[in-house]
Amino acid sequence: MAFSTDSSPKRTLSSLSLTSSAATEVPSGPLSGPSDTTWRRQRLLHIGSVQTLSAEADTQSTSTSAAETAPILRERPLMQKAHSSYGTLPQVTTKRTGFHLRPGLSALPNLAPFSSSVQPHSTSTSPTRPYHGTLDRTSIFRSGRPISAYDAPFSPGRIPGEAPDVATEGVVRMNGIRVWYSSFTSVDWLHDAIKDSTRMYRLRRHKSIRGRVYNAADRFMGWVLVTIVGFLTALTAFLIVRSEQWLFDIKYGYCATGWWKARRFCCPITSDALTFALGASTDPCRSWLSWGEALAVTGASPLSRILVGRATYFLSALLLALVSSLLTIHLTASTSFVTRKDSGVLSPDFDTPTEDGKRFAPPADSPARRKVLYYAAGSGIPEVKTILSGFVIHGYLGGRTLFVKAVGLALSVASGLSLGKEGPFVHIASCIGNIVSRYCVKYENNEGKRREILSAASAAGVAVAFGAPIGGVLFSLEEVSYFFPPKVMWRSFFCAMIAAMTLRFLDPFGTGKLVLFQVTYDKDWHAYELVPFLLLGVFGGLYGAYFSKLNYRWCRDVREKTWLRNHPVAEVLLITAITAILSFINGYTLMSGTELVYNLFAMCLPGSPNTHAGLCVLDPGKQTFHVMRMIAVALVVKAALTIVTFGIKVPAGIFIPTLGVGACAGRIVGLAVQYARWRWPASPVFASCKGNTSCIIPGLYAMVGAAATLSGVTRTTVSLAVIMFELTDTLTYAVPVMLAVLVAKTVADALEPKGIYDLVIELSKLPYLNAKHQYLWGGRTVHDAMDTGVEIIDSGRTNTVRTLRDQLARLAAAGYANTGLPIIRTDSNGKSRMLGFMGGNELEHALSIIAEDADHPVSFLTGVRRFRTFSSSSISSFIDHVEDPFDLSVYMDKAPLTISINSPLELVQQFFVKLGARYVVVTDADGYYEGVIDKNGWLAFLRELETKSI
């Protein structure tokens, strides 16, 4: 920053000489909700500055230089009085005054770190004058806005008429006030646990009737929320399924008795039959008109009708995929999600476009920008896993993402792409859980508690996807959730039950089933069938490992390093066009993924007119090999398309394409065994059939093959087996499914240790700490993992608002967005004693409040005496008794987790995994400060460890 020092007569406005209207708008205190990000950033940019206005500046008040020399903003922009919004842009209801508004600010160029010996050229208020009450010590710490900070005051939650508990409220503050979490920062599980424990103690100690009512309401609130989440998840799933059915069928034709009806509901009698040749007139349902019949001229040949129908199918598929991709890219890019809880200076990708669409380039020495993510793209399960593991991604579970995910999912699946809608239901349900939890302070102000609702929502998502509530709970436990205590399990079970029950009443398929491919087999399996089941397990493991490898390399080497990276819409259209062309190879490639799985799973009933698209072989000698060849072609086409499709910028799941490939392989094996039984009926192998010609069920092999393949791709075991049991309504086939799943996982792990979700996390560079992975530390020590270059605050020196701002800038330049600054005291021997720790967000918030006095000293008092002198339990009273607002110890964690430098690295791993630490301070054998290990730094260390071990 450069400020004019010309002594010519100019109008000078001191940062303290503001208009009366502006002076009345004072910033909020440490317990207020976050202010506007740009407002906070501007205050830190212009600490101690003076605005100089010349005659030329009067006529050019809208120039950029005016923004660079603007004074400290005393007026805080008023926000809409509503719950803090994740995933929506901040809405300012009053204009900022005193400087030219520039909506686009780069991450660091205007906040370059200053060295301790160089000060910015500015004329600030007297650097040596004592504090004389420039700020209102009472009102500054009180906000008229609704409290949305995570450390809300105790007073609103206290039961009216009850005596305060001063000791409890004081002790909990020893852990320091936390203001909010920025995107891609880790949750402080310990602090959230302490805060919730104190809240519960405060409620439980009241034994009056009113206190018992409050206690009951608090306990019941979690059950109310999961009930609402389960109901809304089922309703959303119903709308998506019905929309996807109609959009998929509209590519073929329309219903003459009602254009809004899908073919299943227009022709309920023949809904299981499929007319492979588009435009053919062999369909007995005359209510359904193909586009070939509707658009072709009178007297047109059957060939011309088929061509018209296929052209309409092709164009419709392109249009549906195009709309889905445009919604995903333009509405859910991660750069568009800037909330009030994001840091103004610590976020390396805080870069919004200016009014003319330009962006500011970051400095050359700034940390690498994060990869731009499209929140509605993909299945969402890897990101939900990351969030539940303790990281914050603002906007990913917001209302905008929910809308785009739901609408885009119906469009992308209907386009015929090789993807499914079942996996994204987990993301959709989590969005619903996050939105619903905002309306309960207990979950809104506590990220640790919020994840309990998200775990239950994930179970509901799987429940509506597969009609398997028990499997949904186990899937949330095994694959998604990071912290799953018994209370969360019970609520997840209840939430999944509500979702499944509601979806059953809504009946999305009109058959009384929760999912289309839900089947029931009435025959038992035989001992000799364990061999083909074992082979299917091997196939599932091989396919899962190599699918994960090929998709990972396609995304890394082709999608990210070629022209496809900058043209995601073109990639979607290209893959859609290829998929539409290949779909006309045969009838099985033309089917939707769900319908194909349904027909492959189906059991052929003797005498039934429904042959399930020719999959029921009536004459094994003539039909078996022809049907096997058609299924094999469908398997190859679906597998190849899924490799290049998964990861494109549309909402897409991996479950249905994987089930389809596995079901194709299983049906081929089942038909082979059926043919062998027909060819050699007297063989001792088939003696258990006792002459029964229908003792072999090819659909059972398809179901086992689908389970094995899905296990090989996702590496789920127990939950997947239970989902299959619920799909078949029986435990008769528990042994075949369990055998195939275990073999598939074993083979896949041997070939590729990471499943598809872990590889997606790696590609997206998401900060996920895998608690299940075992690391080999070798000769590495804590010294190899700790960071000694973190900025520190020495309480023995004179720390001013300006110097702390400069340290915050250096912290941002070094990329330590997820950590903070250790507060130390240097002893006479030159070594540093640890006093506490202050997070970067807390320091930014504190400095934005006292930004007017740039050179006023800032102190970090320690001790507990102040907490024991309260006469009131109101946190406002606590703030009123603070002698100096420049005492920042209220934000200080006076008891950070520490570890000796001689400790083994496994102990550090357990600190982060089991204690949920956000950072760990390293000390030497004498207790002196050595360095810091934050969670993101630990993840980088683990990635480096994995790379070197390969």
* 155 vs 80 pLDDT, higher one: 155
Range of lowest pLDDT (30-39, 392-401, 413-422, 653-662): 30-39
Task: Output the pLDDT for position 31.
Answer: 59
- 615 vs 231 pLDDT, higher one: 231
pLDDT at 111 over 60: no
- Bridge-based pairing state of the strands 799-800 and 857-858: antiparallel
- The least confident of 146-160, 721-735, 795-809, 924-938 is 146-160
CA distance 924 to 744: 48
Lowest-confidence region among 177-186, 660-669, 774-783, 902-911: 177-186
Least confident of 376-380, 562-566, 689-693: 689-693
> Which of 61-75, 152-166, 529-543, 593-607 ranks highest by mean pLDDT?
529-543
pLDDT exceeds cutoff 70 at 464: yes
Q: Identify the pLDDT of residue 863.
A: 52
* Residues ≥6 apart with Cβ < 8 Å to 403: none
pLDDT (0 to 100) of residue 950:
58
Any idea which of 82-91, 219-228, 508-517 has the lowest mean pLDDT? 82-91
Name residue, tokens 């900070």: 149
Model confidence at 620, pLDDT cuts 50, 70, 90, reads confident
pLDDT of residue 53: 32
272 or 12, which is more confident: 272
Residue 345 in tokens = 């200076």
- The segment with the largest mean pLDDT, out of 38-42, 266-270, 624-628, 861-865, is 624-628
Can you give the pLDDT at residue 49?
Answer: 54
Flag whether pLDDT at 266 surpasses 80: yes
In this predicted structure, what is the pLDDT of residue 666?
95
DSSP state of 593: H
How confident is residue 24, by pLDDT bands cut at 50, 70 and 90? very low
Query: Can you tell me the distance from the alpha carbon of 869 to that of 892, in angstroms, rounded to the nearest whole number?
Result: 19
Question: Minimum mean pLDDT among 93-102, 363-372, 666-675: which range?
Answer: 93-102
929, 832 in Cβ contact below 8 A? yes
pLDDT at 330 over 60: yes
How far, in Å, CA of 879 to CA of 203, rounded? 23
Task: Provide the percentage of residues in the chain whose pLDDT is more than 90.
Answer: 33
- Asked if 338 and 352 count as a contact pair (C-beta separation under 8 A), the reply is yes
Query: What does DSSP say about strands 793-794 and 820-826: parallel, antiparallel, or unpaired?
Result: parallel
Average pLDDT over residues 329-357: 67
Confidence band for 714, pLDDT divided at 50, 70 and 90: very high
Mean per-residue pLDDT, 634-649:
94
- 141, 144, 460 from 27: Cα distances, Å: 8, 10, 42
Identify the CA nearest to 658 among candidates 423, 481, 480: 423
Mean pLDDT, range 108-125, rounded to an integer: 37
Does pLDDT of 607 surpass 90? Answer: no
- Collect contacts of 273-277 with beta carbons under 8 A, ≥24 apart: 273/610, 273/613, 274/587, 274/590, 274/591, 274/595, 274/613, 276/586, 276/587, 276/590, 277/306
Position 23 scores a pLDDT of: 32
| CA neighbours closer than 13 Å in the CB half-sphere of residue 108 | 25
Residues contacting residue 756 through CB under 8 Å, at least 6 positions apart: 544, 547, 548, 551, 646, 654, 713, 714
With bands split at pLDDT 50, 70 and 90, how would you rate the model's confidence at 636?
Answer: very high
Which pLDDT value is given to residue 102?
Answer: 27
For residues 643-668, give the mean pLDDT. Answer: 94
Provide the pLDDT confidence category of residue 64 given band limits of 50, 70 and 90. very low
The percentage of residues in the chain with a pLDDT greater than 70, rounded to a whole number, is 74
Phi then psi for residue 741, to 5 deg, are -65, -45
Q: Which residue has the higher pLDDT, 112 or 803?
A: 803
Q: Does residue 924 have a pLDDT over 60?
A: yes
Q: What is the mean pLDDT of residues 264-271?
A: 67
Does 83 score more than 80 pLDDT? no
- What amino acid occupies position 764? S
What confidence score (pLDDT) does residue 172 get?
A: 54
The length of the chain is 950
Q: What is the pLDDT averaged over residues 667-678?
A: 91
- Arithmetic mean of pLDDT over the chain: 77
* Cα 592 to Cα 282: distance, rounded to the nearest angstrom: 20
| pLDDT at 476 exceeding the cut of 80 | yes
Q: Is the confidence at residue 658, as pLDDT, over 80?
A: yes
Q: How confident is the model at residue 93 (pLDDT cuts 50, 70, 90)?
A: very low
Instruction: Out of 103-107, 521-525, 628-632, 753-757, pick the least confident.
Output: 103-107
Kind plus residue range of the DSSP H or E element containing 411:
helix 399-414
What's the whole-number mean pLDDT along residues 882-899?
A: 79
Q: Would you say residue 7 has pLDDT above 60?
A: no
844 pLDDT band, cuts 50/70/90, is confident
860 three-state secondary structure:
coil
Q: At 592, is the pLDDT very low, low, confident or very high (cuts 50, 70, 90)? A: confident
β-pairing, 185-186 with 253-255?
unpaired
Lowest mean pLDDT among 64-68, 237-241, 415-419, 784-788: 64-68
Mean of the pLDDT values across residues 437-444? 88
